[in-house]
Amino acid sequence: MKKDIQIPEVTNVEMAVVYEYNDLYNTDDWNVYIINNKNVDLEMVVIVTQGFSDTKITSLFRKKIDVLPANSFAKIELIQPELFKLNNRFQVTFFEGNTLFEKTFIFKENTIKEGSLRMIDEIKKRGILAS
């Protein structure tokens, strides 16, 4: 039975942590974005995030986006620098048409830092893409 289940591969969807200026609070903040580089809308996007290490684990955070339009992006959450010493996992599920897709993105511990920033063309800001 299991061998008959086909799990489609997720392509052209990315997660990024972006370092950007917050005009409201006059601070530099780290924010997590989801990027849809597909030519189709993603529907019922659910993102479950959690930080973890061998000795610590954070609470789960859930975010739902009804529709993420084709070739667009959305800000998911503010991420505190204290979490950078943990692995940060983002489990993303969505419908593309009538097919359910799922992918887990991970920012490994201590990889989110200013020295690793690069321009993310879709957002037009400096950030780091998840593996």
Domains parsed from the chain with CATH numbers:
13-130 (2.60.40.1600)
d(CA 79, CA 17): 8
How large is the average pLDDT for residues 104-128? 96
- Kindly tell me if the per-residue pLDDT of 2 is higher than 70: no
What proportion of the chain, given as a percentage, has pLDDT over 90?
A: 90
SS3 of residue 89 by DSSP: strand
pLDDT score for 7? 72
Question: Residue 33: which pLDDT band, with cuts at 50, 70 and 90?
Answer: very high
pTM: 0.92
Pick the closest to residue 112 from 90, 89, 91, 81 (CA basis).
Answer: 81
What proportion of the chain, given as a percentage, has pLDDT over 70?
A: 96
Is 127 within 8 Å of 117 (Cβ atoms)? yes
Residue 74 tokens read as 């959305």
Beta pairing, strands 72-78 & 61-68: unpaired
End-to-end CA distance of the chain: 31
34-90 tens-digit pLDDT: 999 999 999 999 999 999 999 999 999 999 999 999 999 999 999 999 999 999 999
Alpha carbon dihedral 19, 81, 34, 122, in 10-degree steps, equals 10
- Kindly tell me if the per-residue pLDDT of 1 is higher than 70: no
